[in-house]
Amino acid sequence: MKRLFTYLAASRKAIAVGTLIKIVGTMMDLFIPYVLAHLLDNVVPRKISTAVVFWGGAMIVFSIIAYLFNVIANRMASLVACDTTREIRYDLFSKSSYLSSRQTDTFTIASLESRLTSDTYNVNHMIGMSLRLGIRAPILLIGGVVMTAILDLRLTLVMLLTLPFVYLAVRKASLAGIPLYKLLQKKNDEFTRVVREDSTGIRVIKALSKVSYEQERFDVANRDAIATEKKAGMTMARLGPLTTFVLNIGMCAVILAGGFLVMREKTTSGTIIAFMSYFTIIANALINISRIFVNVSKGSASMARIDEVLSADYELMVEGEAPLPYRTAPLIEFRNVSFGYQGKAVLKHISFTLQRHETLGIIGETGSGKSTLLNLLMRFYDADEGEILIEGVNIKEIPTKVLRRRFGVVFQNDFLFADTIEENIRFGREALTDTAIRRAAGYAQASTFIEERPEGYDSLLAIKGANLSGGQKQRTLIARALAADPEILVLDDSSSALDYKTDALLRASLSAHFSSTTSVIVAQRVSSIQTADKILVLSHGEILAAGTHAELLAGCPFYAEISESQMGGAILD
């Protein structure tokens, strides 16, 4: 909540002016009954028709002012709510973008998504409602109390005795409510996750006739969310009736005490009657305040969830001052690097160097740690042990942005989005010219299928690129990696869906145009890496052997076997 106030502070001027206008508008609403009372009590009995018209006219004028001021104040309130929400949502998205991969894994994407949308929405609702009703109700409350105090201080004190109980009721309900609403949002994350998973896996679900199973799975999440929602609703539902009841006890007390006082001639029955009409105003105000509290509880729960993300520490920080790079040092160096996910070792004691303009090939069994090695190189995770150096500088000392700017990369499960093909290749790099994009598409062997489409580079891709074949997706992604002419090209098994012919053309084109680009290529096919300057053979997270194709054929039976099985031995020159 503290954070919310810092956000609101940006709009303090609007809030102040809006509050003022709202107060005036509300006062107008209070004036009308006052004028009415005056009209009935003083003017009518004296039968002055001009005065009747005058006071009647005044009421109409007050009505107009009340209308205008309330409209303006409501609009301002909504503007403040919207602007604040926008800021919060912006910061939340930015923060999510800069979280480390480990943090994203912990929060989960489904949860980040619902924090960005439904939680910010709840906060929006809370601010708007608090500013609209949260000012009017307290004014009426305070106004009512002041008026009763003027009428009779003793009776007012009797009435005020109930307020601590009202406070306790509100406090208790919102203390119980906030954690429930937080739980509810968490349950909502759960069904968001199911929907996300199922819309990705819809083919498999349908193919395996698992529709009813998935419906059941969603049903569990749905039931859970609804049950929590119901519980939260029930908790907050007590608040209204309880407040009303406590207040009515107060009213009875006032009447009784009033009776005593009248008996002792300390007050009059007229005062009690007037007192009661103000009491109604006070009671209504309190009921409205308790209604706001339902919203506030929900909003605070959401704000707390947003705050969890916003106050997460930045990981992958730059450590120490980066010394100047040594141009003579190897471009990439791993020094005794080890790493594990959830305590399970994936890479063990990896050391190697790669000079500028060289190509590194990585081959190894499924699950031997090839992709993980790339994750560490680009600092998606920090190594548990050892150092990774670029031009002799530890990558922890380089801002991740600067570090990653050197790379052009295609991951195994890479990401295409619903936009034009051109934008998917450009990927937000405004500085890239159309020529560069088309050239990259050409190198990546993508231009043929792109240009075949009626709208060429402006063709829209479906969600996740669903209207491209597997091989077309990979070529689009390779074009993305090549487009900015990167210093280091990283390809993680990114031609697996290409037929051999296209793959061969791609390799030819890469060696013709990118031979001086330092490359790290993970592949299953020996043919993809056999021309590399250095090949690492990984097995169970360790480097089994390293060397050129020829060296490995001679010295590494494991590698020779792979090569043999793929090349059919005899055809090899």
Partner 1 sequence: MTKNSLFRKPSPTALTLDEDKQTSGKRMKKSAVILRLLSYFGAHKGLLALALILTVLANGIALIGPQLSEYAIDAIEAESGVELPKVAFYCGMMLLAYAVSSVLSYLLSVLMITISRRIMYRMRKQVFDHLLTLPISYFDNNQTGDIISRLSYDIDTVNTSLSNDLVQILAGSITLVGSFAMMAKICPILLPIYLVTVPILVAFTCYRVKKVKPLFRQRSARLGMLNGYSEEMLSGQKTIRAYGKEDVMIKRFDRHNRETVEAYYAADYQGSIVGPGVNFINNLSISLISMLGALLYMLSGAESLVIGPLVLAAMTPGKLSAFILYSRKFLGPINETANIVSEIQSATSAAERIFRLLDEKSEADGMVMNETVASVKGAFTVKDLNFSYTPEKPILKHIDLTVEAGKTVAIVGPTGSGKTTFVNLLMRFYECGEGKIFLDGVDIAKIPLDTLRRQFAMVLQDTWLFGASVAENIAYGSVGATREDVIAAAKTACIHEMIEAMPNGYDTVMDEEGISKGQKQLITIARMLLVHHPILILDEATSNVDSRTEHLLTEAMAAITRGRTSFIIAHRLSTVQNADVILVLKDGEIIESGTHEALLEKGGFYASLYRSQFDKH
Q: Which of residues 30-59 bind partner 1 (CB under 8 A)?
A: 32, 36, 39-40, 43-45, 47, 49, 52-53, 56, 59
Under 8 Å between Cβ of 216 and 275: no
Query: What is the smallest separation between the CB atom of 298 and partner 1, expressed in angstroms?
Result: 10
Which 112-151 residues touch partner 1, going by CB under 8 A?
Answer: 112-114, 116-118, 121, 124, 128
Instruction: Give dist(CA 422, CA 458) in Å, integer.
Output: 6
455: left (phi over 0), alpha (psi -120 to 50) or beta: alpha
Q: CA angle, 473 as apex, 432 and 520 as ends, to 5°?
A: 70
Task: Considering the complex, state which of residue 325 and residue 340 has its C-beta at the smaller distance from partner 1.
Answer: 340
Under 8 Å between Cβ of 364 and 538: yes
Q: Which residue type sits at 375?
A: N
464: left (phi over 0), alpha (psi -120 to 50) or beta: left
Query: What is the smallest separation between the CB atom of 408 and partner 1, expressed in angstroms?
Result: 8
**193 contributes a contact to partner 1 by CB under 8 A:** yes
Task: Please state, as a whole number, how many other Cβ atoms lie within 10 Å of the Cβ of residue 110.
Answer: 18
| One residue of 138, 143, 179, 201 binding partner 1 per CB under 8 A | 201
For tokens 């390779």, the residue is: 478
Which 84-113 residues touch partner 1, going by CB under 8 A?
Answer: 85-87, 89-90, 93-94, 96-98, 101, 104-105, 108-109, 112-113
Task: Please state, as a whole number, how many other Cβ atoms lie within 10 Å of the Cβ of residue 464.
Answer: 14
Which among 148-156, 317-325, 363-371, 388-396 is the span making contact with partner 1, rule CB under 8 A? 363-371
Return the structure tokens found at 59. 């009421």
Task: Considering the complex, state which of residue 247 and residue 331 has its C-beta at the smaller distance from partner 1.
Answer: 247
| One residue of 524, 545, 548, 560 binding partner 1 per CB under 8 A | 524
Which among 150-158, 196-204, 305-313, 436-444 is the span making contact with partner 1, rule CB under 8 A? 196-204
Which 312-331 residues touch partner 1, going by CB under 8 A?
Answer: none
Under 8 Å between Cβ of 381 and 365: no
User: Reduced to 3 states, what is the DSSP secondary structure of residue 59?
Assistant: helix
Return the structure tokens found at 224. 């859970």
Under 8 Å between Cβ of 412 and 486: no
Which 208-247 residues touch partner 1, going by CB under 8 A?
Answer: 208-211, 213-215, 218-219, 222-223, 226, 229-230, 233-234, 237-238, 240-242, 244-245
**567 contributes a contact to partner 1 by CB under 8 A:** yes
Task: Considering the complex, state which of residue 365 and residue 382 has its C-beta at the smaller distance from partner 1.
Answer: 365
Q: CA angle, 111 as apex, 91 and 413 as ends, to 5°?
A: 95
Query: What is the smallest separation between the CB atom of 453 and partner 1, expressed in angstroms?
Result: 7
Task: Considering the complex, state which of residue 60 and residue 326 has its C-beta at the smaller distance from partner 1.
Answer: 60
Task: Considering the complex, state which of residue 300 and residue 474 has its C-beta at the smaller distance from partner 1.
Answer: 474
Which among 192, 178, 180, 182 has a CA at the least distance from the CA of 108? 192
Under 8 Å between Cβ of 177 and 229: no
| One residue of 176, 527, 542, 548 binding partner 1 per CB under 8 A | 527
Task: Considering the complex, state which of residue 45 and residue 320 has its C-beta at the smaller distance from partner 1.
Answer: 45
